[in-house]
Structure 1
């Protein structure tokens, strides 16, 4: 069976760098940071004091307040980003095409804020005061469900929950849906709103979050002084479309998805496999899926969390896949600017990867001031760089040993 070609025709995002993809991408190119003091919750309760929060977001710019109150924050972010992506793609879903348009949006933990609030209500006021919307607000698939309802997409409707690989797995799985002919259009990506007390407490307890209180250096992937990630929130959504379908309606095309790899470490619940063995197999799988040689890849958007193990093992994984070419390609971590959006990270990072290809601009890794001697690749330190590249990868690695990788081609 001949593979159908899949392209990106729309993008939308809500991030700590801006409430549109235009604001966000301009900040990325300028090397700006979205990291600031933790204010969403009482920072005095936690050893971690910084976060990358979405600011000045108003869901009522998109839907009525009455309806928004039935949605957790992560679903609101997903819906806003999806609406912006559909508008960017000039995509109006008619009744005729609706069964061929699907939604696949991932989330690592779903409606954590709703769970916290409703548990307090239950403890203090009893079962009768728990919201009837509690369950549908909390479950991670509700971002996909609400986007489907609001945009009228009646095709496959799903959600990948693979921790920090959720967004990338969702895009990869959606790509395969179109490639095999089960849909013509997919609305896909990730959404997360984890800046709540229990999520921060949990990540502090397993020592994943940075304890650096200096917002200018707290997130520093591949730096010798990195000590953990900065928790972040938001959503990144792309419109994927079968190439001929996109051309027939005159859609603009950002880039092409040509490969997808997804593997499991079978090693540890939180630590990556030594040497990044599972991540290496995911990258190799994506290259094989796309029929692309390692030497053809010019850029990798790294998972790059700013944790000691991740950055080292991801670097080792790249070396194992690319050999000597690892020193010729560029690899940067945009988490240095956005923080770590957990299940939404793959959504926004896929967008950054496609825009890097389209515009010929490689995003920087900021705060890389004292390079780790064992992390010795080209991480595009501190300033964006112009470069014409043909192929680029986007990596996401998650708790539970989930590894996902997307391969994009310049269109």
Structure 2
């Protein structure tokens, strides 16, 4: 088996383009959310430059916004890893997404319904395929180690990183670009989630409040998170800066409901325990839980119950950054893994923004504000992501 490390990271988030924008926003305790007058919801849209403007008009017609986001983040990750010019014959790509370009599908369906099939874009099918962001990245950098696009709803990002980690660990790949992208801020997606009663209602960013007793739903956001993974011996041989080590990965299924977690918390418990087993760690060796907690009543409660069961009597530090940046759906886990690596390296644990009063505190340290890492606690963290379809993932990261 090989030890696997992270040597590059790339991100786009509601704080802006680059990992530094994400890190600075979290360290300053800011919100990246705002009310969108056109969409009529608080959302986490990417501020500043229009990423699409980096491409010519013809390329914009060909590629989805998700593919463009994936390319930008991958370039940042490879630049930080100083890996753009490596021989990538053994480099795999696993960049997934949760939702296709629903607006493009809707516009195309309208043309077909009106008998205007000749006006359908020849790029319609490529633009809605979930594996195309990964495909564009692999083609740009000639990564011939295999292209995958794991798609598991809101657990996508962690599954992509975890599966790539396992592939490198057991010798199936030498290195990998892995993560997820989500560009689904549109009226169709918002209407769908709203009909499920999953979204928070209101015009203030503070409605995204993980663990708070007033929480009433999540705030939808967009973005991408990608990490460059490689064997430890390869990273050391080429003098790469090592940002973190991936120690373990666990997955599970609730087998309970399409969108509601099992109240017993069995799914989250199994996911975390399997990650600990995969890493050969005891629960007391974990110093921080980066929670999935989306600000939904049931979801947050079930996750805290799971954390209490897996880490009993530890008063372990727990936080979710969705109060800062909302819920990036498929990209949530990969962006949050990057945030966790930044937290370990900066010695700053992000607080639960907008958490004022909670009924979930028992046995846990639900961080109200940014905090220094507790003295004596190892800088080893576990990240959770849970998705519709009863799918769960947990990833363990260690400061190197």
Shared fold, TM over 0.5: yes
Given the alignment of the two structures, is residue 12 of structure 1 paired with residue 10 of structure 2, yes or no?
Answer: yes
TM-score by length of 2: 0.96
Deviation at 1:124, TM superposition (A): 4.4
Given the alignment of the two structures, is residue 66 of structure 1 paired with residue 62 of structure 2, yes or no?
Answer: no
2:68 counterpart residue number:
76
Offset from partner CA, 1:291-319 (integer Å, 9 cap, x none): 01000100011001000011100000001
The DSSP-based 3-state class of the residue aligned with 2:364 is coil
Rate the CA distance shift 1:24–1:10 in 2: closer, same or farther, 3 A.
same
The DSSP-based 3-state class of the residue aligned with 2:17 is coil
Given the alignment of the two structures, is residue 201 of structure 1 paired with residue 188 of structure 2, yes or no?
Answer: no
1:51 counterpart residue number:
43
Given the alignment of the two structures, is residue 26 of structure 1 paired with residue 24 of structure 2, yes or no?
Answer: yes
The DSSP-based 3-state class of the residue aligned with 1:263 is strand
The DSSP-based 3-state class of the residue aligned with 1:22 is helix
Given the alignment of the two structures, is residue 37 of structure 1 paired with residue 29 of structure 2, yes or no?
Answer: no
Given the alignment of the two structures, is residue 319 of structure 1 paired with residue 308 of structure 2, yes or no?
Answer: yes
* Equivalent-residue separation in structure 1 for 2:363 and 2:234 (angstroms): 43
Does structure 2 conserve the Cα–Cα contact (< 8 Å) formed by 1:221 and 1:336? yes
Does structure 2 conserve the Cα–Cα contact (< 8 Å) formed by 1:333 and 1:379? no
Deviation at 1:55, TM superposition (A): 1.7
Of 67, 78, 85, the match for 2:77: 85
Given the alignment of the two structures, is residue 106 of structure 1 paired with residue 106 of structure 2, yes or no?
Answer: no
Deviation at 1:104, TM superposition (A): 0.2
Given the alignment of the two structures, is residue 278 of structure 1 paired with residue 267 of structure 2, yes or no?
Answer: yes
**RMSD between superposed Cα atoms in Å:** 1.6
* Equivalent-residue separation in structure 2 for 1:385 and 1:38 (angstroms): 34
> Which stretch shows the higher mean deviation, 293-302 or 176-185?
176-185
Of 332, 337, 358, the match for 2:324: 337
* Equivalent-residue separation in structure 2 for 1:303 and 1:59 (angstroms): 27
Deviation at 1:213, TM superposition (A): 2.2
Of 137, 142, 151, the match for 1:147: 137
Deviation at 1:359, TM superposition (A): 2.1
* Equivalent-residue separation in structure 2 for 1:84 and 1:118 (angstroms): 33
Question: Unpaired segments of 5 or more residues in structure 2?
Answer: none
Question: Unpaired segments of 5 or more residues in structure 1?
Answer: 44-48
Offset from partner CA, 1:2-41 (integer Å, 9 cap, x none): x1000000001010011111011010111111110124x4
Aligned length: 398
How do 1:196-345 residues align onto structure 2 when only pairs under 5 Å count? 196-215=186-205, 217-325=206-314, 327=315, 329-345=316-332
Rate the CA distance shift 1:86–1:344 in 2: closer, same or farther, 3 A.
same
1:405 counterpart residue number:
394
Rate the CA distance shift 1:57–1:204 in 2: closer, same or farther, 3 A.
same
Deviation at 1:65, TM superposition (A): 4.1
Does structure 2 conserve the Cα–Cα contact (< 8 Å) formed by 1:364 and 1:381? yes
> Which stretch shows the higher mean deviation, 356-365 or 253-262?
356-365
The DSSP-based 3-state class of the residue aligned with 2:265 is helix
Does structure 2 conserve the Cα–Cα contact (< 8 Å) formed by 1:111 and 1:140? no
* Equivalent-residue separation in structure 2 for 1:406 and 1:352 (angstroms): 13
The DSSP-based 3-state class of the residue aligned with 2:218 is coil
The DSSP-based 3-state class of the residue aligned with 1:98 is coil
Deviation at 1:361, TM superposition (A): 1.3
1:46 counterpart residue number:
none
TM-score by length of 1: 0.93
Does structure 2 conserve the Cα–Cα contact (< 8 Å) formed by 1:113 and 1:193? no
Deviation at 1:77, TM superposition (A): 1.2
Offset from partner CA, 1:134-176 (integer Å, 9 cap, x none): 1111111111111111122111210111000000000000001
